[in-house]
Each structure stands twice: as structure tokens, then as C-alpha cells.
Amino acid sequence: MKMQDYLITIFYYYNFIVLIYFIVINMVYLLLNFLSFFEIRKYVRRNRVTNPEIMFRSNFYLPVSLIVPAFNEAGVIVENIKSILQLRYPEFEVVVVNDGSLDGTLESIKLAYKMTEVSFEAGGNIQTKPIKNIYISTIYKNLILIDKENGGKADALNAGINYSKYTLFCGLDADSILENDSLLKIARPFVEDPDIIAVGGIVRVINGCTIKNGEVIDIALPGSALARFQIVEYLRAFLFGRTGWSVLNAMLIISGAFGLFRKKEVLAAGGYRADTVGEDMELIVRLHNRFGPSGRSKIRFIPDPVCYTEVPENLSVLARQRNRWQRGLVDSLLMNINMLLNPRYGAVGLFAMPFFFFFEMLGPIVEFTGYFVFLFLLCVNAVSYEIALLFFTAAFVLGMVLSLSSIVLEELSFKKYPGVRNVVILSIYAVLENFGYRQLSTYFRFKGLMEYFLGNKKWGEMKRSGFKKN
């Protein structure tokens, strides 16, 4: 048998693997969509009769420490702190952790909020890089600034946890802005269910929006095509993906941009790991690992509390971000591999871990190489053009259905992008993303996977353009 015949045989059977991958992953996505649609509609109906403001006016709340790690965030940090201080919540503190910034982040905070140096002991015992100084604002008594040596985001969060004083803590990215009532909404599940140890809110794209006095006053679509693709991607990932996993009690990730935790359980688990670039996901998986067998690892996502964040508008920054996300995913799964297919962990061990391991982690290999295998088989006439056209049409149609359904659900439920024009534009991008953007994302993830196994542990830089202010 000739070498070409061997290759054709091998690639032909590999094509079956790609086909099975395609069928299974889309069945799971459709299941998550089905679960999410009814869960979100139920959530919206419930909120029509139970206003979270009731908690604001009552004693049924838990105080919250908001921890903001900051490294070279001089362009956005003052505006971000202003936004946080204006949140409607009965009792909270803001703990900003300057992680050895070199761009004037520390000085801008001290100047804007008139910080004065103080001294007090840490309540937590997580090991971190040395603390240099601690400051408190003379304007806002609930604003604390910790200045420490650089140790990375996880180390900064751990320092904030150590010096925070309340039962719940919320990790916030320095480039993010919360809606005024987001904290009321995200804290509510902790009051209703004492077994909940973590809750995530939805992250939306701030590019194109207008900020005034620390609040988003005008929601608009960005001019950048790349940012518009990410709006569709975020809607699909949060409204359908995370809502569906939450229904199954199998959430494996809460975005580092916006998540609320019970401090007791996080301290018991050892805080964030500083030796991974995916500290947000790794903590969630480890909480399942630590508390799952006891049935005390309820981790939820709710689609209403909104955190706005800036997304990349050039390919090089997007590539580094997605590369890092993929490496963080691999790290999180491998560090907790004992949960894979382990019935002690319920839906997490038997459903979520296998899906994320075989499809989210290894999927980029199958998907990326699948394109080349398919093209090879076409070139040697091992696959008919009719079958190839049918396969790719099915793939693109399913991709469009998943994205368009997320836009429809957004419009039916939350209507953050008002007007027919915005809905039409997002729908167009939901179609267009299947012709280049998704393939590019797969390549970035594939590269991240390869770099992980080559030992790349670097965080990578993300340049920010700052918020549009009025």
C-alpha cells in the first residue's frame, strides 16, 4: 500500500473522530441552551415580583468586601473605584490592592481619594508577597488601599482576602464597572441559601459605552468589528453556557471580573493559587474538589448582575488573552484531575469535568487539525464535495442558531441593547463570526494548549484604551 493510501485510511478514520466530536459538543450546547432558556425566563418572571431593593431596606443582608487587584491600571483605576463606591448596598468595604504598579497607579489613588497611612493586622493567613503599606481614605472610610510587592493577580487577591473584614468578598477587575444594583442582586442567593459558596454575574462589553461619574449612562455598540464579535461571544457564553451549567450545579468557572464568595470556604481551600494563569477557574474547580463530596459546594451563575469590562480591539491582544485562557483551563483541570469521571462529585465529576477535559481542553486539537484533514481528503477525492458542503453547512447553521438564540433571549429578557438597529447588527455579526472569527479563536486556543505543554506560564500583557467618558 502506498504512503498516500495509508494517509487516506488514517485521515478517513480521524474524520469519524471529528464527526463524533461535532455531534457530541453540539448536543451538549443544545441541551445547555434548552436548560438556560427556561431558567432565565423563570428568573426574569421571579424578579418582576421580588425587587432586590427590598434587601437594601432590610436587615437581611451579608456585608461584602470588594477586592480590586491593580497592576499598572492608572488609566482606569480612579474611575473604577468611583463606580464601586456608588454601589447600592447596605454595608461594604472596597479593598484596592496595588500589586507593585510601575505607572503611577498608587499615586493616582492616593491623590484622588486622599489616602492616609494606617496600620492593622491581617485577619487571614494566606501567604503573599510582602505588604509595604496600608492606607485608608479620609473621604471614604470604607476605602482601603494595600500597597505590596508584585506577585501577580492571585497574590494580590489573597492579600485583599487577608485584610478584608466581611463574610463575603467579591473579586473585581480594575478595568470593570458594575451596574449600581449588581451587588444587591449577586448577594441575594447567599441570603436565600446558606449552602451557596460562590456566585458569578454576567460580564458585558463596555467598549462603545459612555461612562459618567463612574456609571454606564449609555450602552452602545463599539465601532470595532472585533469587539462586536466578542459581544455575541459573551452573550452566548454567559446567557446559555454558564446558566445551563449552573442549573446542573456543575459550574466550573466564575469570571475573575465579577464573582462573589464566602470567605470562610475560600480560606479553608487555601485562597487563589499564584502558580497558574487561570486562578479564577482553578479556585472554582478546587472548591468543588474540596467541598463537593460533602454536598456543600453550591456554585451558581445568575444572569442579571452586570459587570462591564473592556475587551481587546486588536488581534495581538485578543490572541494573548485567549492563549492565556486556554492555558488556565488546562492548568485548572489537570490540577484537579482526580474529579474526572468520579461519581463522588456528582454532575461536576460525571458531566462537567469530562466535557471540559475532552471538548474544551482537547477540542482545539480536534477542531484545528480537522480542517486540514478534511481539506486533504477533499483534495484526494476521498470525500465528496456534496458531503463536505453538507458537513460545513450543518456546522455553520448550528453555530449561527446558538449565537442568534442568545441574542433573541437577550432581547426578550434584559434588552441591554435597545432598538431594532442594534439587534440587527448583532445578528449580522452572529452570522459572520462563523466565517473566520471562530476559526481564529480555535487557532488561539490551539496555540495556548501547545504552549502550555511547552511550559509557558507567563500571564501576558493586555493593553487598555480606557473608558469613553462624558
Q: What is the mean pLDDT of each run of 10 residues along the chain (470 residues)?
A: 68 79 90 94 79 63 94 86 89 97 94 95 94 97 97 96 96 87 92 93 93 86 96 94 94 93 96 93 96 86 92 95 96 97 95 96 90 79 74 83 91 85 95 93 95 79 56
**Cβ neighbours around 434 below 10 Å, total:** 18
The three three-digit cell numbers of residue 344, written as one number:
463522588
Q: List, for residues 309-324, the tens digit of each pLDDT value.
A: 999 999 999 999 999 9
Question: Looking at residue 136, what is its pLDDT?
Answer: 97
The terminus-to-terminus CA distance of the chain in angstroms comes to 71
Q: Are the CB atoms for 65 and 166 separated by under 8 Å?
A: yes
Q: Are the CB atoms for 175 and 153 separated by under 8 Å?
A: no
| Residues in Cβ contact with 164 at an 8 Å cutoff, skipping those fewer than 6 apart | 65, 67, 93, 95, 123, 124, 263
Looking at the structure, give the CATH architecture of the domain made up of residues 54-226+250-312: Alpha-Beta Complex (3.90)
Which residue, among 35, 24, 22, 25, has the nearest Cα to 405 in the 3D structure? Answer: 35
Q: Are the CB atoms for 362 and 308 separated by under 8 Å?
A: no
Angle 176-179-180 from CA coordinates, rounded to 5°: 125
Q: List, in sequence order, every residue forming a beta bridge with 198; answer none if it has no partner.
A: 261, 299
Task: Check residue 456 and give left, alpha or beta (phi > 0: left; psi -120 to 50: alpha).
Answer: beta
Sign of CA dihedral 378, 379, 380, 384: positive
Which residue, among 174, 149, 167, 1, has the nearest Cα to 84 in the 3D structure? Answer: 174
Q: State the pTM of this model.
A: 0.92
**Cβ neighbours around 453 below 10 Å, total:** 9
Residues, the chain, total? Answer: 470
Q: List, for residues 283-338, the tens digit of each pLDDT value.
A: 999 999 999 888 777 999 999 899 999 999 999 999 999 999 999 999 999 999 99
